[in-house]
Amino acid sequence: MKKSLLFASALVLSVSSAFAGVDADEASYATTNGIDVDCMWLHSRVNGSWASGNQDIPFISNYGKVRTATIWNDGSADKVVMGYSKPVNYPKADGSGEEAIDTATLLIYNIVNGALENEVQLSYNNEPIKNLLSANQIGTDDAGNLWIAGYIPTISTEAAYKVYVVKDVTTGECDLAAELFLPEDDMAASGRIDYCDILGDVTGATSHGIVMAPIASGSDLYVLRWKREQGAAEWAGDFDGYVSLAMGEAYPAGQTTWATAPSVAILWDEELTGENFYVDGNTTCPSLYNTTGSMLESFATATDMAPAVGCNGVAEFELADKNFIVYVLAQYNATPGCAIRVAELGEGMVFEGMTKYWDLPAAGLGEVSDGGTRIHGIMTTAKMTDEAGKTARYLLTYKCNNGIGVYRIQEEGYVGEAGIDGVIADQDANAPAVYYNFQGVQVQNPENGMYIVKRGNTVTKEAIVK
């Protein structure tokens, strides 16, 4: 079976650093088939940096509102960006006081050391983007647009699923890129949408855009799909003119709905057709489908590698002419909890005969409920190439209320981007020092103790003695 790979379009600048991150994964991972993995940084319940109620880290102190993360390039460097439905107090309509309403907010982190760099409230037409779970999902499209989408309890002919694009990450100003409805003849698929995926350019400026979302409630295994042509303002159904399509089967067999919080991952191809896509439901394992509704691949041919039902998250990438799948093994109700598996697909890019490389982290992220069956965020960056032609990618893993981390997967011997390590080392020695505590929060006037110190792109642990 021939299919293409899902990977992000963001570019990454690789830098030399002896420090593995704000908090490290202490496990040792073996080189497998010429491929290594290193942990850049890790905040998790297992390694002790994820303290419940920690007010210094928003994605810990208010975990139920920070559900998804992505990698986005700001034009100079990659950032880890989280979508935060931050409760903000607004006056009540009847004037009787204030009430907390979820307001779409960005949390922007350094991809190298995990330090919080900015928090930005989002707005549209000079009004805050708000309402329940207004930033339930965040992502990056193939044109480099940073987008957010909210939760919608029931999509219909009048209730639209909305996707916003962040125009300015300093002011939080956004455009409404997609306002997606369900036509009358598609009402059989009406239901709740938790998460979506986007292929191409959601603004329609540089290419067509495609938005897909599985229905989380209702009858049958429905997936919705809209498309806007390049330069067009309107979105239309992209399943032979229809928005909804019923999938013929699932794995395990016999499931009639995706149930809570299903996710979709569209496979990338050069023509941006998005013909093949994964659906991972709360009652199913990730399975690969095409736009006719036919199942192409499932764990039925690799049952010994299958994840638990009830955890959602899957991606693919290519490195060193090897094709990989990454998927979440289980939620927090397992040991290890909230770990992801990196595996090489079998010959012909199929599930059968796939080879396990690593489970990351080996000890898991944590085993504490996040209050729901929420998606496990998995994303890789574009390939980086060093002076010797060795390649690497960064891999993001995030499960709310349990942990977040960045790993670098690389060919054995990868040393960094061509010609840059020595230059950075010279520049960083004279760069001003920026101090962070071990929760990743910047400290303006450090007192006695241990700190994370960043000079340019070099990060170290240092003791301050006064």
Query: For residue 21, which of 112, 117, 118 has the smallest C-alpha distance?
Result: 112
Domain match, 364 and 465 both:
no
Domain match, 218 and 138 both:
yes
Domain match, 359 and 448 both:
no
Domain match, 144 and 285 both:
yes
Q: Which CATH number belongs to the domain containing residue 325 in this structure?
A: 2.120.10
pTM: 0.85
The pLDDT, as a whole number, for residue 461 is 61
Q: Which helix (H) or strand (E) holds 451?
A: strand 449-455
Judge whether 336 lies within some domain. yes
Judge whether 19 lies within some domain. no
**Identity of the residue numbered 195:** Y
The phi and psi torsions of 36 (rounded to 5 degrees) equal -110, 165
Average pLDDT per consecutive 10 residues, the chain (466 residues; last block may be shorter): 36 29 76 96 81 61 88 91 95 92 95 88 97 96 97 94 97 98 90 95 97 87 97 96 93 90 94 97 95 96 96 96 97 94 97 98 93 89 90 95 93 71 46 69 75 66 68
Judge whether 27 lies within some domain. no
The pLDDT, as a whole number, for residue 459 is 60
Judge whether 25 lies within some domain. no
The pLDDT, as a whole number, for residue 49 is 66
Q: Which helix (H) or strand (E) holds 200?
A: strand 197-200
Judge whether 453 lies within some domain. yes
Contact 343, 329 (CB under 8 A): no
| Number of domains present in the structure of the chain | 2
Query: For residue 212, which of 195, 201, 222, 224 has the smallest C-alpha distance?
Result: 224
The pLDDT, as a whole number, for residue 19 is 29
Domain match, 362 and 430 both:
no
Judge whether 26 lies within some domain. no
Domain match, 297 and 398 both:
yes
The pLDDT, as a whole number, for residue 438 is 54
Judge whether 110 lies within some domain. yes
Judge whether 13 lies within some domain. no
Domain match, 151 and 278 both:
yes
The pLDDT, as a whole number, for residue 31 is 97
Domain match, 413 and 436 both:
no
Domain match, 373 and 447 both:
no
Range of the structural domain that residue 441 is part of: 420-466
Domain match, 458 and 348 both:
no
Domain match, 51 and 179 both:
yes
What is the 3-class SS of 269-315, one letter each residue? CCCCCCCEEEEECCCCCCEEEECCCCEEECHHHCHHHCCCCCCCCEE
Q: Taking the CA atoms of 390, 396, 397 and 403 in sequence, report the sign of the dihedral they define.
A: positive
Domain match, 406 and 431 both:
no
The pLDDT, as a whole number, for residue 165 is 98
